[in-house]
């Protein structure tokens, strides 16, 4: 019985079932039932399984189940508060039951330096004894806990399992974007006014996830005997990214797309790959011609892709000025506040780190990013290359949007690293996936 359960939890069918359930829950607005169900299953797996890899499909799919977030503070559903409680409680029971040591991990030194940077930045932060300041500091601590937990509880090589999951998540998000536009009364108006909102995320957030997940589709174009089919799927996902109308996301994806295409040509007849892409683009061009009004509107909206400022430059100049004020320790978590006194970020990972945590934070950031790519590229395999391309794309998007330090993206990043570390630390270990 246990062997049957293990095979199912390590199978592609298990991942497909969860992803289909995610689309259904999101489409029907059933997150009141879907999210608690996912949390309940995660909790059970935390408690009764030593290998925690099977919780990750539930964890990541749960991010895309919520179709409505227009709540006031007073009417936030109970299951939203239940989410961190269920996850932390399940992790705690797992650690106690299986006597897990959490003090191993390649990113631990960089994380400790970053936590030190957060503490040292309070010297220049002014008011720090507030509930909100403590909350944001605690969120940063949770990143480290999630990373260390999965780093020390995943058993064996699950890299291909992770790639399958990321591929499915790319399809889930693309399907939700398509459904969103099928539902709106006026697609052209929605594009012109950048109205896309999937509940769990708006334009830039959606684009970041697609940048992370689309390279996995091209991984299958590289490693299977039917590259043409996968290229069509990848281009479809790229078009859905275009319809997020996220200019920063489109620029970052353009870079990752080029890298994917170049790597697809490695060790193959380049003209075969070129022919596949030309054929795929021909099919997409036909679809675009049928819906040309939508694509013309999208083109008009993005025509000034590199020329229109959108207010980023003053924000970046403010970050540089803040860094000059306190270059060593920075100005603290709340270095940038809006007119209402609410927390804001600087839309650039490096400048945000410099302004908030100073040189100490920049050192910590450098340590973390170095370790991420070092471990992901530990092996020169297609899996490693496409994961590295995905991560590079996310970091590229982080140069114009808020990516790093955002919990929904940090969870994906630390899970990728945790899976790779566990797969590569014992090179002769047999793979655990089906």
Q: What is the pLDDT of residues 403-417, one digit of tens each?
A: 999 988 999 999 999
Which residue, 372, 400, 56, 2, is CA-closest to 203? Answer: 400
For residues 164-168, average pLDDT:
97
Residue 380 pLDDT? 85
Higher pLDDT pick, 290 / 204: 204
For residues 206-224, average pLDDT:
94
Tokens 């993206």 correspond to what residue? 409
Residue 8 pLDDT? 93
Higher pLDDT pick, 305 / 340: 340
User: Taking all residues of the chain, what is their mean pLDDT, rounded to a whole number?
Assistant: 86
Q: What is the pLDDT of residues 333-384, one digit of tens each?
A: 888 877 766 778 999 999 999 999 999 999 999 999 999 999 999 888 999 9
122-138 as b/e, with b when 16 or more CB fall inside 10 Å?
A: bebbeebeeeebeeebe
d(CA 314, CA 319): 9
Under the banding of pLDDT at 50, 70 and 90, the label for residue 428 is very low
Residue 290 pLDDT? 64
Residue 308 pLDDT? 58
Q: What is the pLDDT of residues 114-163, one digit of tens each?
A: 999 998 988 887 766 677 777 778 888 888 999 999 999 999 999 999 99
Q: Read off the DSSP letter of residue 226.
A: -
Token digits for 270? 């380049």
* Adjacent-strand bridge partners of 202: 197
Token digits for 65? 């189940």
d(CA 19, CA 210): 15
Which residue, 319, 179, 185, 173, is CA-closest to 246? Answer: 173
Helices and strands in the chain, H and E counts: 18, 0
């Amino acid at each position: 019985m246990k062997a049957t359960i293990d095979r199912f939890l390590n199978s592609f069918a298990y991942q497909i079932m969860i992803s289909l359930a995610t689309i259904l829950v999101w489409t029907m607005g059933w997150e009141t039932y879907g999210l608690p169900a996912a949390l309940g299953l995660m909790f059970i797996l935390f408690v009764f399984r030593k290998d925690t890899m099977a919780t990750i499909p539930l964890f990541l799919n749960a991010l895309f189940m919520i179709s409505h977030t227009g709540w006031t503070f007073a009417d936030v559903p109970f299951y939203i508060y239940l989410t961190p409680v269920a996850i932390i409680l399940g992790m705690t029971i797992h650690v106690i039951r299986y006597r897990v040591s959490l003090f191993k991990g390649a990113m631990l030194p960089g994380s400790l330096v970053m936590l030190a940077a957060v503490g040292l930045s309070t010297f220049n932060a002014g008011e720090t004894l507030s509930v909100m300041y403590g909350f944001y500091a605690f969120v940063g601590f949770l990143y480290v806990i999630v990373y260390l937990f999965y780093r020390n509880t995943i058993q064996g090589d699950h890299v291909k399992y992770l790639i399958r999951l990321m591929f499915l998540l790319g399809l889930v998000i693309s399907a939700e974007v398509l459904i969103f536009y099928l539902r709106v009364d006026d697609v052209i108006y929605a594009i012109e006014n950048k109205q896309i909102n999937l509940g769990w995320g708006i334009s830039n957030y959606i684009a970041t996830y697609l940048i992370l997940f689309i390279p996995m589709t091209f991984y299958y174009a590289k490693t299977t005997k039917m590259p043409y089919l996968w290229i069509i799927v990848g281009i479809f996902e790229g078009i859905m990214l275009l319809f997020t109308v996220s200019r920063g996301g489109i620029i970052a994806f353009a870079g990752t797309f080029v890298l994917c295409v170049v790597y697809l040509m490695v060790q193959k007849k380049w003209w075969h790959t070129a022919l596949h892409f030309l054929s795929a683009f021909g099919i997409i061009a036909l679809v675009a011609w049928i819906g040309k009004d939508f694509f013309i509107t999208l083109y008009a909206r993005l025509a000034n892709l590199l020329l229109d400022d959108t207010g980023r430059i003053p924000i970046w100049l403010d970050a540089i000025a803040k860094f000059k004020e306190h270059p060593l320790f920075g100005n603290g978590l709340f270095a940038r506040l809006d007119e209402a006194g609410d927390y804001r970020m600087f839309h650039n990972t490096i400048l945000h780190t410099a302004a908030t945590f100073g040189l100490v934070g920049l050192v910590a950031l450098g340590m973390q990013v170095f370790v991420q790519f070092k471990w992901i590229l530990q092996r020169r395999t297609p899996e490693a290359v496409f994961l590295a391309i995905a991560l590079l794309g996310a970091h590229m998007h982080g140069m114009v949007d808020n990516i790093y330090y955002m919990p929904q993206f940090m969870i994906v990043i630390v899970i990728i690293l945790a899976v790779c570390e566990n797969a590569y630390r014992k090179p002769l270990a047999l793979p655990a996936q089906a």
